[in-house]
Amino acid sequence: MSSDERRWLVIGVFVLSSAINYLDRQTLATLAPTLRREFHLSNQEYGWILSAFSVSYMLSAPFAGLLIDRIGLNRAISLVVGVWSCAGIGTGFTTGLAGLAGCRTVLGAAEAGGIPGAGKAIYQYLRASERALGNAANQAGVSVGAIAAPPIAAWIATNWNWRIAFAATGVLGLIWIPVWLWASRLAPQRPLEHATAASDANEMLRQPRLWAFVAANGLAMVGYSLWTNWTVSYLVDVHKISLAEAAAYAWIPPAVAMLGGPVGGWFSLRLIERGAEPMSARFRVCLGAAIAALATALVPVTPTPAWSAAAIAFSFFSISAFSVNMYTLPLDAFGGARAAFAISMLVASYGAIQAVISPAFGRVIDVHGYGPVAVFTALTPLAACAVLWCTKAVER
């Protein structure tokens, strides 16, 4: 096996952790109609459960990034995967709303280390021109988890009960840890420039460019939050179909989104090969994806579950193409020694925006339906591009 093949094999094994991360996370979204009935939750109250995860995710992400930069990728990722797996398993043993919220809070705190860890791995094992493709591979892993969650969770819940679904998905993370520790030794790591994590973090927090990335990512990820958390509920509530029927459609958007990451990464790679500066190339792809994402506003007018799934899939595709380039910009700007912390700030922005919009979306959906939510979501990627352009954050 060549050196390049070994490097990509290592990244491929790491990507499995992202798939497991989102499999654990999306099990709740898949089983939301069941849990809403069991716990007697409104859409707004379900939104508050999402916020419990999101606030923890937001607050923990910078510390997770610092931890990864300080103690190294292998030790840190083993710790966070172990904790989030136990939190997922624990969800299956909850007996009330408080226990459910508590498990989601712990899950959010641990899963905040997943994306920063991926950024660190991508920097350590891949070349600069390959990083967006590396993020695309990681985005594909995320999509695999999101694709697998509806059929797996719905099948387990239908044939046994929803508690076993959470326990089963949590066990997979515990199995992954020794596999990664073996795989990480298969290829040499890129040497990192000397840095002290805490002092570098303080320096980075004073840089306007970092905060521009944070704001832009928060806006861009509104659509991601919407479709990862509300797709099954949308199909059940709007089209009046069962959980099993909704699960038969709900895997389609993340499957299509899995293609959006490689497409976004490939376009930026081609632009760089043709002479564009990396950050400029990534911005141009983000802008194109934001224009495509305007189609999100059309989702509520689709007449059947199949058409709704197709429209959501196109929206999801656009967001994924945007995301892989957005999450690569901090690697271009700040380097490898600070990679995990830089990415963790974007992760925190996603947690923050999800914490704010989830109960708000739930309230709007309870009162007005999904139309206003879809229109708002269609505009946020363009707003993200405006932030990057106006702050000159993508200029060298």
**44, 96 contact by CB (below 8 A):** no
Return the pLDDT at 337.
Answer: 61
| 8 A C-beta contact, residue 326 and residue 216 | yes
Give pLDDT tens digits for 164-189. Answer: 888 888 898 899 999 999 988 887 76
- Spatial separation of the C-alpha atoms in residues 342 and 337, rounded to whole Å: 10
Residue type, 171: V
Dihedral (CA of 339, 15, 311, 368) sign: negative
Measure the CA dihedral 54/57/59/64, to 10°. -170
- Report the C-alpha gap between 374 and 361 in whole angstroms: 10
pLDDT of residue 339: 64
Q: Are 382 and 289 in contact (CB under 8 A)?
A: no
Give the DSSP per-residue string, 306-335: HHHHHHHHHHHHHHHHHHHHHTTHHHHHH-
| Residues contacting 196, CB < 8 A, separation 6+ | none
pLDDT digits (tens, 9 = 90+) for 145-156: 878 888 888 888
pLDDT of residue 314: 96
What is the predicted pLDDT for the residue at 201? 67
Task: Quote the tokens at residue 342.
Answer: 């830089």
DSSP per residue, 231-272: HHHHHHHHH---HHHHHHHHTHHHHHHHHHHHHHHHHHHHHH
CA distance 231 to 240: 13
b/e code 5-36 from CB counts within 10 Å (16+ = b): eebbebbebbbbbbbbbbbbbbbbbbbbbbbb
Predicted TM-score (pTM) of the model is: 0.70
pLDDT for residue 309: 95
Distance (Å, whole) CA 286 – CA 292: 10
- Ranges under pLDDT 70 in the chain: 1, 189-201, 336-340, 396
| CA 267 to mean position of chain CA atoms | 21
Classify domain 3-187+195-390 at the CATH superfamily level: MFS general substrate transporter like domains (1.20.1250.20)
**What confidence score (pLDDT) does residue 196 get?**
45
List the chain domain ranges: 3-187+195-390
Q: What does the pLDDT read at residue 120?
A: 85
